[in-house]
Amino acid sequence: MKRFVAILLAAALVAPAFAQAPTVSALKGKTVEIVIWTHEDSARTALEKRLIDEFTKANPGVTVKYVTYPSGKIKDIVVAGFAANAGPDIFNLEIFDQYQFIANGRVAPVDYKLAGFKSAKDMQAKYMAGMLDPVIEDGKVYGMPLELTNWAMYLNKKIFRDAGLDPMKDYPKTWEEVMAVSEKIVRRDGQIITRRGFDFRYPYYLTSVVPMVEQLGGELVSKDGKSVITNDAAWLKVLSYFKDFGPNGKNLGSPTYTAARKVFDNDKNEIAMSLSGLYQEARMKGANPEFYSSGEWMVVPFPQWKDAVRKVPNNYYGHYYMVNAQSSKLEQQAAWALLGYMLQHGEEYLDKVAIVQPTKALFESKTFKDTPYSDVFAKDMAAGHIVYYGAASSKIESLLKEAFESVMLSGVEPAKALDKLRRDVKAALEDI
């Protein structure tokens, strides 16, 4: 935490690289089209299209085709595009899906000067410690952070009071309390849940479930990289918790139910607590401004086990903008200059979209400090770590989903699911 605070204090020394859109000398007298593929986010789309317009006005030879896809589909679309050698010039995915493109040589290293930096060292100095680690290979940086996300718990105060609970005193601090509070809040029509206390984010098991294991001293991959699925007791406790939580246990929630974070914003007495990032505030404000302004919601830290051996909040993950290595030299130059300009507007991304770019300057800014509950996210992030396991990350995510959902939905015993998970994760790591 001390190091984190020190980083923030140093941020005031960092100034934006661009006051206005840069002109790219290599583009003089030439025309080029840049294709961007990214996930849907109406607020971000509006901001990025404005920044793109500013860039293209300063560089009249450049046109930009900006294409959005649903967040649940973009990974498959990008993979298919690159497999056909028809990938976009610029794209972004969650890092554990995106790393494979670095490993396979499909993305170009950052052109530091065109992106607004003096050197690789200068670039790293402007970001918080460790934020570029997932996109560094052989000393080169292969992406620029669009956002860094960790989750905390959103809570509906009205539902708590309706269940006879005081939201300021009775919000859950432990996973045991999450279940106990959910039992008090849940409502059912037969076996059909009509109001949930809490439900997990599925299938983001690397992000939220692995920290639950780490709190108990378990690891997905040991620090020396020689062992997988360490500390069986920790894993079995978490698997058993999910079994007990799901429809074949206490029937408090399940991957089959509507995404909790979207239901939460509706404020229709359907769910009391949901895990999400700071960006959820912008989505809530857009979807339900009355609820956003009501003061009837709050954000509390990621829960810990009563017998946790160390504090581990939600893992944070990154979306990085990357450039296609198969794009022409001119397309790559234009792409890095465009990204450099777009991503110099971190405070606007936070203010208009509520997404966090992990720059030192942003965390020290008044915009960040004035964002509701930003301190909760910052404190959790300071105690957390970024989640990625190299080229195997995406596969491991799928294996975790299979293991946990087999226990929740298919009645597989935790010990059996754990044995299979260990074999499968080991094989996935050996395949890369």
Domains of the chain, by residue range, sit at: 2-148+319-364, 152-314+390-431
Per-residue pLDDT of the chain (432 residues; tens, 9 = 90+): 334 333 333 333 333 444 589 999 998 889 999 999 999 998 899 999 999 999 999 999 999 999 999 988 999 999 999 999 999 999 999 888 888 899 899 999 999 999 999 998 999 999 988 888 889 999 899 999 999 889 999 999 999 999 999 999 999 999 999 999 999 999 999 989 999 999 999 988 999 999 999 999 999 998 888 899 999 999 999 999 999 999 999 999 999 998 999 999 999 999 999 999 998 998 899 899 999 999 999 999 999 999 999 999 998 888 999 999 999 999 999 999 999 999 999 999 999 988 899 999 999 999 999 999 999 999 998 888 887 677 788 899 999 999 999 999 999 999 999 999 999 999 999 887
Whole-number Cα distances in Å, 55 to 20, 63, 116, 239, 341: 9, 10, 14, 50, 8
Cα–Cα distance list, 297 to 88, 208, 338, 428 (Å): 40, 21, 38, 41
The pLDDT value recorded for residue 97 is 85
**Predicted structure pTM score:** 0.83
What is the spatial distance between Cα 336 and Cα 346, in angstroms, rounded to a whole number?
17
Contact 218, 324 (CB under 8 A): no
Confirm whether 2-148+319-364 and 152-314+390-431 share one CATH topology: yes
Q: Show the 3-state SS of 265-295.
A: HHCCCCEEEEEECCCHHHHHHHHCHHHHCCC
206 φ, ψ (degrees, to nearest 5): -65, -35
What tokens does 327 get?
A: 């794009």
Q: What is the reported pLDDT for 6? A: 36
Order of strands across the sheet that contains 152-156: 187-189, 192-199, 271-276, 152-156, 297-300
Sign of the alpha-carbon dihedral angle for 390, 395, 399, 405 = positive
In a 13 Å sphere around the CA of 59, the CA atoms on its Cβ side amount to 30
Partners of 91 in beta bridges: 37, 322
Contacts of residue 317, defined as CB under 8 A and 6 or more positions apart, other chains included, come to 94, 95, 96, 148, 149, 150, 206, 207, 386, 387, 388
Kindly report the CATH number that applies to the domain delimited by 152-314+390-431.
3.40.190.10
Tell me, what DSSP letter sits at residue 321? E
- DSSP lists the bridge partners of residue 196 as 271
Q: What is the pLDDT of residue 14?
A: 36
CATH class, range 2-148+319-364 = alpha beta
The separation between the first and the last C-alpha atoms of the chain, rounded to the nearest angstrom, is 34
Pairing of strands 32-39, 62-69: parallel
